[in-house]
Structure 1
Amino acid sequence: MLDFLPAFPAFLLIFMRVTSFFLMMPLFSYRSIPASHKIGLGFFLAWIMFLGMEVPSLEISGTYFLLIIKEALVGLMIGFIAYLMLSAIQIAGGFIDFQMGFAIANVIDPQTGAQSPLMGQYLYTIALFFLLTVNGHHLMLDGIFYSYRFIPLEHWIPFGDENMAEYIIRALNTMFIIAFQMSIPVVGSLFLVDVALGVVARTVPQLNVFVVGLPLKIGVSFIILIAVMSVLLFAVSQAYETMLGTMRGLMDLMGGS
């Protein structure tokens, strides 16, 4: 117990980074998970990481409190990048909902507590199941563990570096590109349906396209979704690869590489 006391400040820094990462990390940050469970899981993971790495000897001083703020920011930024990449799935569902006519109905996202599009939440749920199937949550935990190789506990972060801001903006751009690629099969098909309904409305004025169009677009959307579901899962796997690569790139920048 006496041997642990000199390393206790380092353990607190590890615990701060892990718990901050859980605040933004997909799946682990759900509001339906009690806060006591998140803190307990973060404590045991921090303890395992503490036993598996060499920690420096730190003293509790004014500089130490700045290191606590730094560790919290590191965990939040890494978790935010992971959540940013997976948000592309919900944005793709929002694009699809807008074309299907489902944009007027939303559901509550259990992760953020905010309203989410129907198809976006449906695709996001499938993506989370796929994440668990391929053990992607283990890879994200590995990411926070190996982050100490890039960003040691006593290392300061160049938060004012313009390359870091540019990198996050590029990640945001990549998120919208992934969302567009996932939604274009359904959105493109519904655009052709709109064109066809416009032609029918001009050639057959007696037909009320507003009554026929909505159920037709919903039916076509579900048919296209069933047909391209394998392609969507492939896009989700690409989003996971992009997420892990983006997390590593951000850690490289924060580590000064």
Structure 2
Amino acid sequence: MLEWINQLPVFLLVFVRILAFLATLPVFSYRNVPNIFKVSFAIFFASIIFFTLDVPELDIDATFFLLIIKEMLMGLLIGLVAAILFYAIQVAGAFIDVKIGFLVANVIDPQTGAQSPLTGGFLYAFAVLILFVTDGHHLLLDGIFYSYTYIPVNEMGVNFGSESVMKTAVEAFSTMFIIAFQMSFPIVGTLFLVDVALGVMSRAVPQMNVFVVGLPLKIFLGLPVIMLTLPGFFWLVSNLVDEIVVTMRTLLQLFGGE
């Protein structure tokens, strides 16, 4: 019994990293997921990881509290990288809504509590379903599991400010916008051609009110095009999950100085 009490500080460090990871990870961090579930799952997952670690006993002193801060930052950063890339779907929805005319009708997303574009919320719901169907959530949890291989809980040295880390973070931002552009390009390109056609018609028939005709026409053409491009959207979401896992693993290696 005394041996278990001596290992309690190590378990607490593991628990803090996982709980911080779940606080920013897509799907697990949503407001409609009960907090009691998040804490219980963090305890359960931490107990599994705890028995796979070979960490000496730690004393509760000033260094231990610094380790807690380090573990919290690590969990938040790893989850935040995954969230940033996954929000490419919302950005793609915003691109589509700008052209289709839905951007003036943003709604409150009950999952995040923030304003969300209509098309972005629609595509995001599909993406979450694809994430669960393809076991993508297991790949996300795999990232936090292997984080202890690169960054042990009892070491303070983490390369937060190295050039490689900054470069990888910038690449993650650029990748998010590239994937968002790829997702929205078929719809945005089609609606751009509609704008060109409306411009030609307004020159040929000046009496026609382009604004009155254009909005319902874009909706009438945009929604079928979205449905036709959903198979390609599913493929891009699968690639997005793989990109999230690779980025998380790369950052962990850089944080660990490898």
**What TM-score do the two structures reach when normalised by structure 1?**
0.97
1:129 paired to 2:129:
yes
TM-superposed CA distance for 1:117, in Å, is 0.4
TM-superposed CA distance for 1:81, in Å, is 0.6
The 3 A distance-change label for structure 1 pair 40 and 167 is: same
TM-superposed CA distance for 1:40, in Å, is 1.2
Equivalent residue number for residue 204 of structure 2:
203
| Count of matched residue positions in the alignment of Structure 1 and Structure 2 | 257
What does 1:21-36 correspond to in 2, within 5 Å? 21-36=21-36
TM-superposed CA distance for 1:110, in Å, is 2.8
Equivalent residue number for residue 173 of structure 1:
174
What does 1:63-212 correspond to in 2, within 5 Å? 63-155=63-155, 156-212=157-213
Alignment partners' CA distance in 2, 1:253 and 1:94: 33
Structure 2 residue ranges without an equivalent (≥5): none
Q: CA-to-partner distance for each residue in 1:181-238, whole Å, 9 max, x for gaps? A: 1111000110000000000011012222211110110111111111111011111111
- Three-state SS of the structure 2 residue aligned to 1:104 is helix
Equivalent residue number for residue 249 of structure 1:
250
TM-superposed CA distance for 1:77, in Å, is 0.5
TM-superposed CA distance for 1:52, in Å, is 2.8
- Three-state SS of the structure 1 residue aligned to 2:33 is coil
- Three-state SS of the structure 2 residue aligned to 1:112 is coil
The percent of aligned pairs where both chains have the same amino acid is 51
- Three-state SS of the structure 2 residue aligned to 1:193 is helix
Equivalent residue number for residue 19 of structure 2:
19
Alignment partners' CA distance in 1, 2:174 and 2:139: 23
Equivalent residue number for residue 46 of structure 1:
46
Letter in 2 for 1:86: F
Structure 1 residue ranges without an equivalent (≥5): none
1:213 paired to 2:220:
no
How well do the aligned residues superpose, as a CA RMSD in angstroms? 1.0
